[in-house]
Amino acid sequence: SGHASLVRADGLWFHDCGLVIQAESTIFRVSGGILGTHSPIFHDMLSLPMADDVEMFEGCPLVRLPDTAEDITIFLKALIYYDFFEPSPARTTFVVLSAVLRMADKYQVVALRKRAVAHLSAAYPTPLVDLKLVQ
């Protein structure tokens, strides 16, 4: 049912995990427990009883997200791989920083959002950035 065109995300497909996330045509198999630990949005979403008609992929519930595959790839790598998005003053790119900031804000991952804000504040040390983003 439309699954033939899906591409498994490199480095974000864990056979021992029980949640499949789809963003665009990319799929990720990750731990719902780990996502729920870091994100109250995912925690609440995954705490709901599973509907009888929930879409499945290889025996796992499939959750479709409206975000880009690139943003979700970066977000999940930042959550799962501790050396992917290290605290400032470690170097990062604008693409990674902006994706982490957007996704951490959207999915309420407070620690990751704080790390992104610290990177942004170090790169653009202005009171305006500090005031708007730390609130």
CATH H-level, domain 7-134: superfamily: Potassium Channel Kv1.1; Chain A (3.30.710.10)
Q: Which amino acid is at 23?
A: A
Interhelix angle 127-134/110-123, nearest 10 degrees: 170
The token pair at 116 is 């992104």
Residue 23 pLDDT level (bands cut at 50, 70, 90): very high
Write out pLDDT tens, residues 55-67: 999 999 999 999 9
* Euclidean distance between CA atoms 37 and 93, whole angstroms: 26
- Give 88 or 95, the one with higher predicted confidence: 95
* Euclidean distance between CA atoms 24 and 70, whole angstroms: 9
- Asked if 57 and 27 count as a contact pair (C-beta separation under 8 A), the reply is yes
Model's pTM, two decimal places?
Answer: 0.87
Domains in the chain: boundaries: 7-134
- Asked if 21 and 65 count as a contact pair (C-beta separation under 8 A), the reply is yes
- Give 12 or 54, the one with higher predicted confidence: 12
**Quick one: pLDDT at residue 135?**
52
Mean pLDDT over residues 60-81, rounded?
A: 96
